[in-house]
Structure 1
Amino acid sequence: MPPHLHEDRATTQPEPGAVDALISQARQLRGKVDAVRRDAADDTEDPRQRWQRALCDLAVHQLDDLGEHLGQLREGFPESDADSDTATGPGAGTGTAAAPPETFLSVPAPGRAAVQALGRAGSAEWDLVTDGVEWSEELYRIFGRQRHEGPLTLDELPTFLFAEDQAVLSTAVTGCLVDARPIDCEFRIVRPDGAVRTVHMVGEPVLDAAGATASMWAVLRDVSELRRSQRTLRETRDSLQRERQIAQTEHRLAVELQEAVLPPWRGSLRFPQNGGLPAVDLAAHYLPSATSALIGGDWYDALQLPNGSALLTVGDLTGHGVSATSGMAMLLGALRGMAVAGLEPGPLMGWLNQMLDSSAQPALGSALCCRYDPADRSLLWSQAGHPAPLLFRDGTGRQLEAPEGVLLGATAGAQYGQASLRVMPGDLLVLHTDGLTPRRPGRGSATDVPVGVRRLLELGPRFAQARTPQECVRIVVEELGAPEREDDACVLIAKFH
């Protein structure tokens, strides 16, 4: 067994210079960690920011404790507490309390007193032969007791503990006194002022010459703030993990819903006319955002209608995640049903607007709807706050002039105009959502065409050399499928025969 606490202190006192160097290093490190804590965003809504803040707080508390302990180490063993203020039981210790030593880390002034009072370790020794008890000044501070009240005996100590923690202390003390085992336990106390503190206790028995337990000494430290920081860190980490799991689940559901709703065909699709000859060749592609986590409400669709005409549509519902994809599924299902029922694009947009405006979960959306009749090669189309189609003929492209139409869900009773044109064999029609082109300021010098649309129009010569719409889609993806894309997008290309 190690020698008596008081007998051993002279041989274990470290060199003052070494301790001063450690204190200086701890002070510098504490200042750097505190600077990081101040720079951390104090955002109570973001679990990641809360976790970062909690981690910094925990590091600061640990460094505060380290500084206090190094300070006590530099001061040496408290002779006045151990030799002058010996008590023989509760209420026996009297004397003048020494002023608390310096707080060695750069603790802000408002929190310095708390660190001095609560962050320091207190020592105690219970003599089993004389029933005497020795407490250091710091231990009185931790338990919130006055000097004239005296230290607590081993029988009185459990009365300060939570009922469920008393067994922990009893087991540790019994093991120390009976089996000579070291003490290492933690418990909560209720101070006379009603404050609840968490105390960590380590110690061991002191044996006499015959090998019997003569006394028990211990060091008790208030670790309330440290445990609070650890608990906050654990809670924020768990919260972050839960939100990440929720986000992953929602992302998976959004992807599955999107795949279930968008057309199942991949590559090219061909709509024949009544005579069996091909009328329209189609190809489409969905481009995810850069993060691939922002699954939005973009859609593309192509459908051959009962009268032999073809429906071509693209659109985008605001928002991301399951709410956006479920809203897109509702909107696209309604659009398909009304198109099959024979509604023209303009009235169809009006009904979609009314449906969104009266929805339990209001949202905004843009849409483009075209109906192509191969019998007379006429294209009838309408738009709701959406980029107009691009028509390419003989390698040259132009943006069609859009009829009147506001965003879906923006206002009740909105009217939507229609435009029509006659396409020629070999014409190429490009429909896309606004996420396809970069959102950068800039306009064409001559035609006032947005810079993103101009980039698409510049692909006309390459489209003319392509044999199929699928090759045209591949060209668009190569040119505009940048990895830094801010939003998801869809493109649908139709080639008329």
Structure 2
Amino acid sequence: MPSHLSADRPAPQPPERTAVDALISRTRLLRGDVDAVRRDTSVMDDDPQLRWQRALCELAVHQLDDLGEHLGQLRDGIPHQVTAEGAAEDTAATAAEPAAGSLLSRVGSAEWNLLTDEVSWSDELYRIFGREPGTGALSLDELPSVLLAEDQPLLTSMVTDCLVDGRPIDGEFRILLSDGGMRTLHMTGEPVLDEEGCTASMWAVLRDVSRLRRGQHIVGRTRDTARRREQMARAEHRMAVELQEAVLPPWRGSLPLPGRGASGLDIAGRYLPSGSSDLIGGDWYDALPLPDGGTMLTVGDLTGHGIPATSAMAMLLGALRGMAVAGVGPGAVMGHLNQLIECSAQPALGSAVCCRFDPASGTLVWAQAGHPAPLLFRDGVGRPLPAPDGVLLGATSGVTYEQDQVDLLPGDVLVLHTDGLTRRSDRSTDPDMLLGLAPRLARARTAQECVRTVVEELGTAERLDDACVLVARVEA
């Protein structure tokens, strides 16, 4: 049997796409050249050497087809990571294969003589079947006994077509080894005719393609897993969006307060998604008319993304609304929300601002939990309100949240926001980004115009996180 130098090499790092395209083109050209040699090869019935040369050409064509397929998968970005289960399967199956070495160590030849019942196997074929040469080769009648039951009809059909109809053999089947292992073999062959044109024997080349098929199976399974995960991620994203839209205020733009002007506030808000639409977080904003004629204003942000964050946000916002309607002050509201997070089955961290505006006195009472302070714009100048003490929600238990009070004047603009609005690429926040809008906010006639100004300046940039902005303009 001709020898062949080992073609095994350490796996290189994934090349650039242009390099992969060049390799694909070279593989196609080489495949065409080998195929031309195969077609030009003249096979003499009584010349095993020429039959072997033709079989090698057939094998090279199959190898190049496999290579072209693998390069195409690499170019198209098919997932290549192997799961722990797949890696275990690969390790176990590799142990049952011939030792790594030359390509020909996984290729063997056989000839079954129909006139003398003689069977000739190459040494490599004995190794592939896991048999000792002294045990003898398998006849065509014995060969199906080592195949998986479901593959036996395929082999019978291929052999029959070859011997009866003179058709070439080209197919795959799986064999069981004496140690319980399994291999996948690719078989190509053809009938050998006598002088009268009758089939005298059948000659075949069998190639062990176990590793190749297993690799294809793992790639296909990984691709299917990635597709299922992508579908699950889309479904979760859709559910998170629907939950968020169901919980956040149904109004878009200005808040339609009953008895326009009775609350003394013109209010508008907006939710701004992150630069990646997949990151639906736990940000919220809300404005709620209260039974005593006041108005509750709040913004907040919970850690995390997806359904866990939006469901936790829904729980907190519902509790906050209930306590505000019941007349609980902003500081006490923060304390109760902290306890609620602490008792939750899924603990989280969050920041929040809660304000209560009394239109009769023009007083704003507010508290915060590790959140950026509201910005007050008056006479074309903006400044953050001095923040009362308050730690992040969920950070520690038994915390008392202070509250502060500020008098608002007609024409004042109050801006509440989550930190995603002013977060920079280095993940720091820059409140000056909003304070610089003071002249434009002073010229705005409505809260909705103020929100539009903020969105025009800060809402179009790609953000690392989602954000909310709530604007309250004190009316005369």
The answer to whether residue 454 in structure 2 is matched with residue 473 in structure 1 is no
| 1:7 equivalent in structure 2 | 47
The answer to whether residue 277 in structure 2 is matched with residue 237 in structure 1 is no
The answer to whether residue 324 in structure 2 is matched with residue 330 in structure 1 is no
Q: Secondary structure at the match of 2:235?
A: helix
| 1:128 equivalent in structure 2 | 114
Using the TM superposition, give the Cα deviation of residue 380 of structure 1 relative to its aligned residue in structure 2, in angstroms.
0.3
| 1:246 equivalent in structure 2 | 232
The answer to whether residue 301 in structure 2 is matched with residue 316 in structure 1 is yes
Using the TM superposition, give the Cα deviation of residue 136 of structure 1 relative to its aligned residue in structure 2, in angstroms.
1.9
Q: Of residues 409, 421, 432 in structure 1, which corresponds to 2:394? A: 409
Unaligned runs of 5+ in 1: 38-47, 56-110, 443-449
Between the aligned partners of 1:148 and 1:11, the Cα distance in structure 2 is: 26
> Closer, same or farther in 2 for the Cα pair 1:329/1:385, shift >3 Å?
same
| Alignment of structure 1 residues 78-117 onto 2, 5 Å | 113-116=99-102
Q: Is the 8 A contact 2:331 2:401 kept in 1?
A: yes
| Alignment of structure 1 residues 52-67 onto 2, 5 Å | 52-53=80-81
Using the TM superposition, give the Cα deviation of residue 422 of structure 1 relative to its aligned residue in structure 2, in angstroms.
0.6
The answer to whether residue 408 in structure 2 is matched with residue 423 in structure 1 is yes
Q: Secondary structure at the match of 1:292?
A: coil
Which letter does structure 2 place at the counterpart of 1:7? D
Between the aligned partners of 1:249 and 1:119, the Cα distance in structure 2 is: 49
| 2:214 equivalent in structure 1 | 228
Quote the RMSD (CA, aligned, Å).
Answer: 3.3
Q: Of residues 70, 74, 79 in structure 2, which corresponds to 1:51? A: 79
Between the aligned partners of 1:400 and 1:255, the Cα distance in structure 2 is: 32
Between the aligned partners of 2:435 and 2:360, the Cα distance in structure 1 is: 28
Q: Secondary structure at the match of 1:476?
A: helix
Using the TM superposition, give the Cα deviation of residue 54 of structure 1 relative to its aligned residue in structure 2, in angstroms.
5.9
| 2:88 equivalent in structure 1 | none
- Listed one character per residue, the Cα deviations across residues 158-212 of structure 1 (whole Å, up to 9, x for unaligned) are 2222233222222222222223332222222122344321111121222223332
| Alignment of structure 1 residues 367-406 onto 2, 5 Å | 367-406=352-391
Using the TM superposition, give the Cα deviation of residue 266 of structure 1 relative to its aligned residue in structure 2, in angstroms.
1.2
Using the TM superposition, give the Cα deviation of residue 293 of structure 1 relative to its aligned residue in structure 2, in angstroms.
0.5
Using the TM superposition, give the Cα deviation of residue 8 of structure 1 relative to its aligned residue in structure 2, in angstroms.
7.3
Unaligned runs of 5+ in 2: 1-41, 84-96
Using the TM superposition, give the Cα deviation of residue 468 of structure 1 relative to its aligned residue in structure 2, in angstroms.
1.3
Which letter does structure 2 place at the counterpart of 1:221? R
How many residues in Structure 1 have an aligned counterpart in Structure 2? 414
> Closer, same or farther in 2 for the Cα pair 1:6/1:310, shift >3 Å?
farther
- Listed one character per residue, the Cα deviations across residues 42-97 of structure 1 (whole Å, up to 9, x for unaligned) are xxxxxx99923469xxxxxxxxxxxxxxxxxxxxxxxxxxxxxxxxxxxxxxxxxx
> Closer, same or farther in 2 for the Cα pair 1:408/1:182, shift >3 Å?
same
| 1:73 equivalent in structure 2 | none
Normalising by the residue count of structure 1, what TM-score does the alignment of the two structures yield? 0.76
Q: Secondary structure at the match of 1:216?
A: strand
Using the TM superposition, give the Cα deviation of residue 420 of structure 1 relative to its aligned residue in structure 2, in angstroms.
0.4
Which letter does structure 2 place at the counterpart of 1:231? H
- Listed one character per residue, the Cα deviations across residues 346-384 of structure 1 (whole Å, up to 9, x for unaligned) are 111111111110011111111110000000000000111
Between the aligned partners of 2:411 and 2:256, the Cα distance in structure 1 is: 14
Q: Secondary structure at the match of 1:452?
A: coil
| 2:93 equivalent in structure 1 | none
Which letter does structure 2 place at the counterpart of 1:174? T
Which letter does structure 2 place at the counterpart of 1:486? L
> Closer, same or farther in 2 for the Cα pair 1:410/1:232, shift >3 Å?
same
> Closer, same or farther in 2 for the Cα pair 1:128/1:169, shift >3 Å?
same
Normalising by the residue count of structure 2, what TM-score does the alignment of the two structures yield? 0.80
- Higher mean C-alpha displacement, 432-441 vs 254-263: 432-441
| 1:163 equivalent in structure 2 | 149
> Closer, same or farther in 2 for the Cα pair 1:243/1:112, shift >3 Å?
same
| Alignment of structure 1 residues 346-385 onto 2, 5 Å | 346-385=331-370
Q: Is the 8 A contact 2:297 2:355 kept in 1?
A: yes
> Closer, same or farther in 2 for the Cα pair 1:122/1:267, shift >3 Å?
same
- Higher mean C-alpha displacement, 146-155 vs 350-359: 146-155
| 2:15 equivalent in structure 1 | none
Which letter does structure 1 place at the counterpart of 2:352? A
Using the TM superposition, give the Cα deviation of residue 150 of structure 1 relative to its aligned residue in structure 2, in angstroms.
2.6
| 1:283 equivalent in structure 2 | 268
Between the aligned partners of 2:312 and 2:371, the Cα distance in structure 1 is: 17
| 2:136 equivalent in structure 1 | 150
Q: Is the 8 A contact 2:263 2:359 kept in 1?
A: no
Identity among equivalent pairs (%): 61
Between the aligned partners of 2:195 and 2:361, the Cα distance in structure 1 is: 116
Between the aligned partners of 2:305 and 2:247, the Cα distance in structure 1 is: 16
The answer to whether residue 418 in structure 2 is matched with residue 433 in structure 1 is yes
Q: Is the 8 A contact 1:133 1:152 kept in 2?
A: yes
- Listed one character per residue, the Cα deviations across residues 279-309 of structure 1 (whole Å, up to 9, x for unaligned) are 1001111111111110001000001000000
The answer to whether residue 440 in structure 2 is matched with residue 462 in structure 1 is yes
Between the aligned partners of 1:50 and 1:361, the Cα distance in structure 2 is: 35
Between the aligned partners of 1:118 and 1:149, the Cα distance in structure 2 is: 22
Between the aligned partners of 2:337 and 2:429, the Cα distance in structure 1 is: 30
> Closer, same or farther in 2 for the Cα pair 1:131/1:436, shift >3 Å?
same
Which letter does structure 1 place at the counterpart of 2:47? E
Between the aligned partners of 1:173 and 1:11, the Cα distance in structure 2 is: 18
| 1:490 equivalent in structure 2 | 468
- Higher mean C-alpha displacement, 393-402 vs 432-441: 432-441
Between the aligned partners of 1:354 and 1:11, the Cα distance in structure 2 is: 83
Q: Is the 8 A contact 1:54 1:229 kept in 2?
A: no
Using the TM superposition, give the Cα deviation of residue 270 of structure 1 relative to its aligned residue in structure 2, in angstroms.
4.9
Q: Of residues 324, 335, 350 in structure 2, which corresponds to 1:339? A: 324
Using the TM superposition, give the Cα deviation of residue 312 of structure 1 relative to its aligned residue in structure 2, in angstroms.
0.4
Between the aligned partners of 2:206 and 2:425, the Cα distance in structure 1 is: 63
> Closer, same or farther in 2 for the Cα pair 1:118/1:164, shift >3 Å?
farther
Between the aligned partners of 2:429 and 2:392, the Cα distance in structure 1 is: 22
Q: Secondary structure at the match of 1:297?
A: coil
> Closer, same or farther in 2 for the Cα pair 1:485/1:5, shift >3 Å?
farther
> Closer, same or farther in 2 for the Cα pair 1:125/1:13, shift >3 Å?
closer
Between the aligned partners of 1:318 and 1:404, the Cα distance in structure 2 is: 21
Q: Is the 8 A contact 1:314 1:431 kept in 2?
A: yes
Between the aligned partners of 2:445 and 2:163, the Cα distance in structure 1 is: 92
Q: Is the 8 A contact 1:119 1:221 kept in 2?
A: no
